[in-house]
Structure 1
Amino acid sequence: MTAQQQSLETLLGISSQRKSLKQQLDAASIKAESGRTTLADLPTVQIGCKRYIPEKYIANKNRKGRRSWIQAYGFFLTERLTGYWSHMITEADGNAYEDSSRADSQPPSKRRCLELPTARSNVNKAKELTVGWIVTANLPFTAPSNPYLRRMLDLHDASLAKEVPWSRQSVRDTMRKLFEVKKGAISCQLEKAVTKISFSFDMWTSPNRYAFLDLHAHYLDASYQVQSRLLALRRVWGAHSGDNQATTIYDIFGEYGIRDQIGAGICDNVSSNDTCLASLYRQLSPAMAEEDIRNNRTRCFGHIVNLAARAFLWGEDPDSFKREAFTEAAFQVEERELRLWRKRGAVGKLHNTVRFVRASPQRRELMKSLACSQRDEDDYHLFEEDQAAIDLELMQNNETRWNSTFMIIQRAIRKREQIDYFITYLDTKAAEPRQRVPVQDHLSQQDWLLLAEIQSLLKPLYEITMRCQGWAKEGRYSALWEVMIGIEYLLNFFEEQKLIFSPPDGTANELQIARASATTRYSPPRADQGRGREKHLPQHTRDEYTGAFSQAESLDDAHRRCIQISINNCWSKLDEYYSLLGQSPLYPAAVILHPRWNVSWLEANWTSHEQLVWLRDAKNSVREFFEQQYPRKEQSEAARTMIGKAMRQDEPSQFDQWMQSYDRYMMEEEDELGVYMRQGPVRRENLNPILW
């Protein structure tokens, strides 16, 4: 063959020597692993002038696979209309038998005909998407067998719909297989983590009263992106003690092979979690000291805010009110439950009023019709705002979730006129007392003022709660550095509110002094700072500050005292957990290692004598933790020689030599952490501390 012919064949993609079937099948296997999904992209082999698809890449729900003995010696290939069997020995020279014989004994008229085969990868993907749909939408396993859904899928792709098993048992089996596959993929990801793996866990009771423990892993991947993975939702048998939970978590870590990669643990503030972490870390490292266990214990910020808000609303022991309300509701003792809520003041009255309105559809419709008629009687109104307020339903709160109380107050204030008109209308029109809102639950002018104040006081707690939901993004929104700064912000806010709602004579009441004497952040009463301090505020905030004083002064003594007690309860709970943050160096370290704040933030906010002790301890703990986690490497003699050469140019004088020796000493002694803390904060907004 001439060189011109060879180059032409190469250009046209023609080979003078036919590839063997083994070579073609090996190439087909590589092509199949690249994730082909359409039938046209399935790998093929050529026999003569025809092309065939390896049968193992084609889905066939109605068959369990060939069982012929000849399968051990060759490969089944499928054309659109005909199937062939290729011998492993004779195919080596590039030839194969195109034999119409079959392993089964069916006559030719009943042979299988694959006119429109479906790619197996498409079937597997459809199964995975079906399981994902069921899990994320919380659907029963029978959902895919719905006849209307099946008909819709048939219209889209009938061949694919026939190949995918949709029964409940098939869905369950597919889910188990997918779980094992994804578990292996997560194990590989965890193995490649560039940081230690932090974890969070919590107990949860399902609607059918089963106890479950969920466990998440948090780490940085190779690209330094924050990753979070659900490791398990494991049923817990027996007592929900800390030791029992620790054993469950330890077993899960073993399944993923990450027991030697574990870092800090994040959980709620109940005492059983302290026991759990102590037991878990001792199983992971029997030599771990008690101090090291405390260092790795981090607290759920959302739970801290939740406890503070419940203390504001329900007092020092909110769980007692929760238990009592739950008991009354469980035994359907309605009058006693109403009296219990009525003891909570304006919030309890609002709860009972909303419950009365929502008790029947007729009352809801009456309230809406009264609101519409009231709006039509007005000479002027804003149509869109009024109509939106009318269309909104009253929201019901409960004793479990404090933010439901914030939401009920927020909605009720928006619909205040409608609520008052509804109560007045029933008082004049309803014939029987049971058809009216009880007089004890009528909301007075002072009650509405108190509800407005409660709303404004709960708003920072609600905003912080919404901010810390989910996983941290770009170094913000539920990041560790936000915990200490967030609590500091809330403490400062409620200290300002203490001043605003202090008695009119400007002296601190006995309750404030009694509570503050047991706390760490107490400062002496600032009677002289009252109404005169607004002159130091910027103009754009001065009106808001003085307005808060004016509104607070309009409350009577009983409602003002109610607010004072709530503020002190909330402040005390926040201060309690602010002090507990000092047990772990991770919180001040997270603030210090954020380039936007550095150590300057702590130096600016911790100024009292006791707080200066905190500052010193924080710096020392961060230093000790840094040296423990990142031990310093001794600098080689060659490196020190290079530093000296870099500093010498001409022959220095004795004075220059003395200064250079000092500089060289500083360069040798100061590590990366020291250089960072000395440089000060980086004044840049929305700075991601991880990528900095």
Structure 2
Amino acid sequence: MAIVGAIISTLSKSPQTRTGAGLSASFAFRNLAIMRCHRQYTMARVNPSGVEFTVPTLVLSNWKEKSLEAIRSEPALRACQLSDDGAVIALLMTFAPPGCSSLEIFQRGASLRRRWTRDGHVKDQEASDYFIHPKVKDLLLDETRVGDALKSYQSTQFCLGSHAAFADQFRLKLPADVKLFWSYTAMVLTCGAIPWKSLTPVKIDYYALNRCLHHTVTGFTGNVDQLPDHVRLEIASSLVEASRLPYPELRLKWPSPAPLLSEPSDELLGSASPGSPVPAKHTLDHSLSDRAGKRAKSRTNKSTWNEARGPYEERGEKARDTSYHEIWYCKHCDSTKKPNSITTNLSRARKHLRDFHGIRVIEHVERSDLKKQQHGTITDLFGRQEERQASRDLTEEKYLANAINIPAFEEALARLLAVRNIAHTFIEYPEFHAVILSCNYMARDVLLRSRRAVPKLLKKTFAQHKQGLVKKLHNSLSSMVHFTIDMWTSSEQKAAYQAIVVHFVDAETRGVAQALLSLREFKGSHNGKLQAKAFLEVVEEYDLRGKVGYFTMDNHDANDAMLDDIAKEIDGLDPVARRLRCSGHIMNLIVQAFLFRSKAKKIQDDEREGIDEAIYNDFKAEIGRALPRDNDTRWNSWFRLIDVAIENRAKFMDWIQENHAKIEKDALDHNDWNELGDIHAFLQVFHQISVRQGRENTLDEVLSHMDFLHHHFTRTKNRAFSGPRFYARFHVAWLKFEKYYQLTEQAPVYVTGILLHPALRKSYLSEQWKRNPAWVSNAVKAVRKIWSTDYKSYQLPDEQQEKEQELDEFDRWRQKVYSTASEVKDEFDRFIYGSQRGYPALHIAQARSQLKRLQGDYEAAHKVLNTHSQESDVEPTAPSAIRNFADGLIAIQRCLNCLQRDEISTAIESLRAWVPGPTPMAAAVMFQSILLHAKCLRFRGQFLESQTQLTKLRKVEDKNPDLDFEEYRRDWAYESAASLIEQVFPEEEAKQRLLKAEHRLHEELNRMKSKRITYPKDVPLRLLLAECFFAQEKYAKAEEICHNLTCELKFDRLHRQIILAKINHAKLLATTSADCLVPDECRSLRDKALAHWMEAGRLITSTSQNEGHSSLVVYLSLMNLFSYCEDNASQEARKSTGRSIERAQLGQSDQGVKYWIPGLMSWKKKLSLAEPLIDQRSKL
């Protein structure tokens, strides 16, 4: 072998002997595996027209022994791996200009081949026999076999031989059929006119191909790295995924040329005459084992194969199945066959070993050679691996790796995703990775690679922060923590959400802090008892039972019931005294009562019925602006509306005078303007107070605001009203105000805020409530009770006690005498009766800072103030809880998805929140993502949501008129129709939905026909149309569609068989229910249904991707078919069919069942109709 190889190497150095040497080597080593037809080439130098270029010589040696049917059914061709026919088509199409027919392509290829081989000293006749092989000719001229692929080339004006068209198509998405015939041969022939630096025959590898691409892409000079990303992506996917060639390892330098046949093999392939310049026609005999051995890859899963035995030939067992898959035979099983004891699926083999023999096999699969080669190829093609390796600094990499703070990175990433409400797919964006790696290229291992890792990261970060928050709450400077609770109801989701916010004094910052503890969903009822249960769970979760303080809530009755239930579980909690009311909510109720009384909204709706849009537009143009829009939930919008009207009164009056005839019924007269002026003056005070309320609003201001409003009501009452309507409004508002003004007496903490304010104290109450002195005495008495119970026994800090111990005997005697002489001996009384001089009307936070500078006699009061100032800082308007609903349902679902819901819900919500950039490619990606989202929703049974997503596709298309979404329209139509067919409820609309789906499918099929897009791309739509007809009980039309279809894909054939089986089965049920029974017709229908069901079962068992659940559909139907004499079996069949439908809707079954949901739905209905006919089945 070595001697022959040396001789060939020597001969190959001469251009005159190069071709002969290469072909001689082919016959000398024809027994070597390296003679694989579409992966071996010899480079023969020819010189037509004085131009130097190379021509690959394709060696086709096994066409004689193979039939056309064998070529058509090659598994390699169906798996997008180039076989002989693909290589020939690619070779001949290389030389054909755009628009050529298949015959012209063949004739031109044969002519060029004869001319080239003649220049290469190869006989014309032999070249003609070689290329004009009858089987090759038949294959190329048979429109049913390769015509669709050739037409696709012609329609896109894409030809590998045309460099300009080649370059243009590279920048677009390659069609599927182009990828199918994409070959190593075509790539090399595309660059056939390029002079080679080396004339020695070499193996063309991807390094050489990289050099060829520099000349292939029109106008491009430089490295492939400079090509656009989508161009490089398509080149890589075509080379790596379609060609399936043995890729070379990365090389830092261009290797020295090596002979083509330098790596002989020991596999014998046959004999041939050594002197023949072309391969013999009858020499190679490729058996099934040779065919299967073409990949020549080592066996994986060795541990599983160690538990297998060889096939028993005497039993007729084979080593491989018809698809060339090696069969695994369990060596532990005897002649009795058990499930999966004979299989080609190693996962099932391991399951068999575990279930029946107690053997647990764990495979440690390393990275395959093909994966390594692909990685090396892509790196070689795109990256600058050589420069990176040459300039690699290990010390620098070490320091950069050590500089990465992984916990800090995870914390920052979690905050970014949660705070900014970013989709989880963000971590998969290449741009995000580029930003991180541009700062530190050693951070590659830190980056999360999948969005599925985000919920775990958020949960981990949440747990860490939760521990810190629990610690802060326990170490707070106050004895109690306080809560703001609000409930928000979603009209779309028909669910309610409860937000619980805690307020406390942080021991580190000594400032008031707040935190959201819970955001829980209530499905259905959310009464006070359920809300109390949820709150108590939060209290137990954070261990706050002994620190529960005051509650700020709105005025809903359910909140009173909630506090009553909480008080039953927490000792010492007074549900009335601890309940604070949202002052903003109270203000809104008072003003709503003033504006609308009881019939406001009905009147408003009646008035809006007569609005003329043209008059409104004319009004807006004349005035120069539109009136502020009113709002049902916020009264301030009405105040702003009236304010704008009064401000522009002159313009209003002029416009009304000009258009009085048009708006005579709605025109404002002088009395109306006077009433608006009175309403504006009355509401202006409320507006001023609402502006002052917010995050810094405290309890002392709540009571002072109420006192000011009481003053405002009294002053307005003494004024002359503009009319009786205003008086009625005023009276209703006064009653509402009086109700809540009286309720403040139930919570003494409101008065505490006044008494402990250095600028207010008891003097404020005496002045404001002098009309009723009993209010003052009762209020002070209630606050003194709180003081005596909780704070009077408070001990001064240790530091102050140490100062007392340092006093001498005289100082202690003087302190005792002075305190005895004082009229007020209680610290609380001393503070509230103290002087207000030097204390302006400060905010409570400013007052607290000044109190820190007081002397020791105020120390106890400072403690009380420090505690109740938290109660003051409990936001009376509850904006912190309401603010948690600002982002609506998205923020809530993001929180729940990350911590509570399953992965598929998280994936769907991520697709929903993903909004790509405005680039054309981003629009295409967005279109695909919405389509995928709609499909996911359909699989889960959320048909209305799926249809909503599909309507968004129209908007994406309208926003991108320059983009062509042609390749997605078929899937779009399929999803639209499937969603309509599968939707079951409401049943009364089923007929309308099915007709709409039928129209949608017909519309898309007609469009495809006009575009000359027919078989096999229209097969899924036609099968779905048959399902639609079956659901409408149009059996003849459904059966006609199925009989006229020729399905190539196994799944389509399976779908077709199931539809036909259901049609005959349904006819059988209908026949048995008829008055006049026809036994012969029944038996015929039964036999047909049985034949189709059995064929469907055979297809299911031969599907390698099936997990076993899809066969449930067939077996249940067979059970029903055989159960005409067995009532129990029929009932069990219907129940099992219903269970399979539920599993399919929940996504718990495999792909097959999920695709058959429409058939299952209609089939369940047919089976249910058979129930009252059990008695008649015996007649059959």
Q: Normalising by the residue count of structure 1, what TM-score does the alignment of the two structures yield?
A: 0.57
Partner residue in 1 for 2:791: 630
Structure-2 separation of matches of 1:262 and 1:229: 15
Mapped partners of 2:462, 2:554: distance in 1 = 28
Change in Cα spacing, 1:105 to 1:338, as seen in structure 2 (3 Å) is: closer
Note the alpha carbon deviations across 1:473-509, whole angstroms, 9 max, x for none: xxxxx1011111110001101211111135xxxxxxx
Contact 1:219 1:227 in 2 (8 A): yes
Q: Deviations over 1:421-480 (max 9, x none)?
A: 55555566xxxxxxx55x3322223222322321221122122223222x32xxxxx101
1:303 matched to which residue of 2? 585
**Residue type of the alignment partner of 1:216:** V
Q: Aligned equivalents of 2:780 and 2:633: distance in 1?
A: 39
The equivalent of 2:848 in structure 1 is 690
Q: Deviations over 1:129-172 (max 9, x none)?
A: 4224433xxx655577788x759957975957996448654444
Partner of 2:717 in structure 1?
A: 498
* Counterpart AA for 1:671: D
Output the CA distance in 1 between the equivalents of 2:432 and 2:660: 56
In 1, Cα distance between equivalents of 2:437 and 2:644: 46
Alignment of 1:650-689 (within 5 A): 663-665=818-820, 670-682=825-837, 683-687=839-843, 688-689=846-847
- 1:178-236 per-position Cα deviation (integer Å, ceiling 9, x unaligned): 32222222212111111110111011113423211000111212243111111111112
Quote the residue 1:50 is aligned against: none
Aligned to 2:890: none
- Pairwise mapping of residues 558-597 of structure 1 onto structure 2 (< 5 A)? 560-597=723-760
Secondary structure at the residue paired with 1:227? strand
Match of 2:718, SS? Answer: helix
Deviations 1:371-402 (A, max 9, x none): 4xxxxxxxxxxxxxxxxxx3x43222133322
3-state secondary structure, aligned to 2:483: strand
**Alpha-carbon distance in 2 for matches of 1:321, 1:427:** 26
**Partner SS, residue 503 of structure 2:** strand
In structure 2, distance between residues paired with 1:668 and 1:561: 56
Is the counterpart of residue 616 in structure 1 residue 747 in structure 2?
Answer: no
Aligned-pair distance for 1:606?
Answer: 1.3
Q: Taking structure 1 as reference, are residues 593 and 156 closer, same or farther at Cα in structure 2, changes over 3 Å only?
A: farther
C-alpha distance in 2 between matches for 1:444 and 1:173 = 66
Partner of 1:66: none
Distance 2:743 2:820 in 1: 39
- CA shift, 1:631, in A, is 3.8
Is structure 2 residue 681 aligned with structure 1 residue 456? yes
CA distances 1:321-357 after superposition (whole Å, capped 9, x unpaired):
45xx4xxxxxxxxxx8543xx5xxxxxxxxx49x947
Q: In structure 2, what is the Cα distance between the partners aligned to 1:641 and 1:177? A: 53
1:211 to 496, 511, 520: 496
2:465 counterpart residue number: 182
Q: Does residue 202 of the first structure (1) align with residue 486 of the second (2)?
A: yes
CA 1:170/1:410 → structure 2, altered by over 3 Å: closer, same or farther? farther
Check whether the contact 1:593–1:689 (CA below 8 A) recurs between aligned residues: no
Residue identity in the other structure for 2:791: Y
Is the 1:219–1:228 Cα contact (8 Å) retained in structure 2?
yes
Answering whether residue 811 of structure 2 is matched by residue 646 of structure 1, we say yes
Aligned 8 A contact 2:630 2:637 in 1 = yes
Name the SS for the 1:217 alignment partner.
Answer: strand
**CA distance in structure 2 between the partners assigned to 1:158 and 1:633 by the alignment:** 57
Scaled by the length of structure 2, the TM-score of the pair is 0.35
Distance 1:283-1:150 versus aligned 2 partners, 3 A rule: same
Tell me, in whole angstroms, the C-alpha distance in 1 between the residues paired with 2:806 and 2:417. Answer: 64
How far apart are residue 245 of structure 1 and its match?
A: 0.7
1:369–1:168 CA distance, 2 compared to 1 (3 A): farther
Preserved contact between residue 428 and residue 448 of structure 2 (Cα < 8 Å): no
**Cα distance per residue 1:21-74 (max 9 Å; x no partner):** xxxxxxxxxxxxxxxxxxxxxxxxxxxxxxxxxxxxxxxxxxxxxxxxxxxxxx
Task: Tell me the secondary structure at the aligned position of residue 441 of structure 1.
Answer: coil
2:570 is matched with which residue: 284, 292, 314? 284
> Deviation digits for residues 596-625 of structure 1, max 9, x if unmatched?
1011100111112xx211111111111110
**Which region of structure 1 is more displaced relative to structure 2, 625-634 or 264-273?**
625-634
Take 1:262 and 1:280, find their aligned partners in 2: how far apart are those partners?
Answer: 10
Cα deviation per residue 1:575-608 (whole Å; 9 max; x = unaligned)?
A: 2211111112111111000111011100111112
| 1:440 partner SS | coil
Q: Structure 1's 427 and 268: CA in aligned 2 closer, same or farther, altered over 3 A?
A: same
8 Å contact 1:259–1:284 — kept in the other structure?
yes
Question: Does 1 or 2 have the higher relative contact order (CA < 8 Å, sep 6+)?
Answer: 1
Give me the CA root mean square deviation: 4.0
1:298-337: CA deviations, max 9, x gaps?
Answer: 111111111111111122x4xx645xx4xxxxxxxxxx85
Gaps in structure 1 of 5+ consecutive residues: 1-102, 326-335, 343-351, 372-389, 429-435, 473-477, 503-554, 650-659
Q: 1:442 aligns with which of 652, 655, 667?
A: 667
Determine if the alignment matches structure 1 residue 260 to structure 2 residue 546. Answer: yes
1:406 counterpart = 2:691: no
For the residue of structure 1 that corresponds to 2:741, the secondary structure is helix
8 Å CA contact 1:501–1:563 kept in 2: the answer is no
Give the structure with higher Rg (CA).
Answer: 2
Question: SS of the counterpart of 1:231?
Answer: strand
Give the distance between the partners of 1:489 and 1:338, measured in 2 at CA: 35
Give distance in 1, aligned partners of 2:807 and 2:823: 12
Residues 214 and 233 in structure 1, CA contact (< 8 A), matched pair in contact too: yes
**Cα distance in 2 between the residues matched to 1:156 and 1:192:** 43
Change in Cα spacing, 1:666 to 1:242, as seen in structure 2 (3 Å) is farther
Percent identical residues: 24
Given the superposition, is the C-alpha separation of residues 119 and 487 from structure 1 closer, same or farther in structure 2, using an over 3 Å criterion?
same
Question: How far did residue 264 of structure 1 move?
Answer: 0.9
Query: Which of 474, 484, 491 is the aligned partner of 1:191?
Result: 474
Query: Secondary structure of 1:236's partner?
Result: strand
The code of the aligned residue for 1:623 comes to: R
Q: Would you say the 8 A contact 1:134–1:141 is kept in 2?
A: no
Give, in angstroms, the shift of residue 122 of structure 1.
5.7
In 2, distance between residues paired with 1:268 and 1:643? 56
* In structure 1, C-alpha distance between the alignment counterparts of 2:551 and 2:668, rounded to whole Å: 46
1:71 is matched with none
* CA pair 422-182 structure 1, distance change in 2 beyond 3 A: farther
Is the contact made by 1:200 and 1:215 (CA closer than 8 Å) also made in structure 2? yes
Aligned to 2:575: 293
C-alpha displacement of 1:239: 2.2
Sort the Cα spacing of 1:181 and 1:662 in 2 relative to 1 into closer, same or farther, 3 A: closer
1:480 aligns with 2:716: no
Contact 1:142 1:168 in 2 (8 A): yes
Residues 425 and 668 (structure 1 numbering): CA distance in 2 closer, same or farther, change over 3 Å?
A: closer
Equivalent position amino acid for 2:589 in 1: L
Moved more, 254-263 or 158-167: 158-167
Shift of 1:272: 1.6
Aligned mates of 1:397, 1:444 — CA distance in 2: 22
CA distance in 2, matches of 1:128, 1:598: 48
Mapped partners of 2:611, 2:424: distance in 1: 39
Count matched residues.
Answer: 450
- Where does residue 506 of structure 2 map in the other structure? 221
Give deviations 1:264-314, integer Å, cap 9, x for gaps: 1111122221111121122122xx37xx33221211111111111111112
> Which amino acid is 2:811 matched to?
A
Q: Letter of the aligned partner of 1:621 in structure 2?
A: A
Report if the CA contact (8 A) 1:311-1:569 is conserved.
Answer: yes
**Paired residues of 1:131 and 1:174 also in contact (CA < 8 A):** no
